[in-house]
Amino acid sequence: MLTNLFKKTGWFYLPCSIPGWVIFLVYVAVNVQFFTAIDRNSHSASDTLINFFPYFISLSAFYCWIAYHTARPVQPTVKS
């Protein structure tokens, strides 16, 4: 499997290679597509957010799972 696609910085996983950026951009594009499709049929802002939330959480969990398994290990810092 591909390794070192992402780098963990704090709570987030940032892409550090071309395949990592492709995965990230697909994640963002799918979230935007879901949001616009849900917003098109909603009657209020809260209706949009309530209906978008399950899709966002599911996609985010899948993105985090991929990033976690392909992330560069964190190097401990040595203080002198």
SS3 string, 5-35, reads CEEEECCEEEECCHHHHHHHHHHHHHHHHHH
The pLDDT of residue 32 is: 97
Over the chain (80 residues), what is each successive 10-residue block's mean pLDDT?
78 90 96 95 91 95 92 70
Q: Is residue 1 part of a domain?
A: no
pTM for the full model?
Answer: 0.81
Q: Is residue 53 part of a domain?
A: yes
Max CA separation in the chain (angstroms): 59
Q: Is residue 78 part of a domain?
A: no
The pLDDT of residue 25 is: 97
Q: Is residue 49 part of a domain?
A: yes
Only one residue has tokens 């994640």, namely 27
Q: Is residue 12 part of a domain?
A: yes
Q: Domain range spanning residue 34?
A: 6-72
In the chain, the number of structural domains is 1
Query: Is the distance from CB of 68 to CB of 58 less than 8 angstroms?
Result: no
Quote the CA–CA distance of 3 and 69 in Å, as a whole number. Answer: 8
The pLDDT of residue 9 is: 84
Q: Is residue 77 part of a domain?
A: no
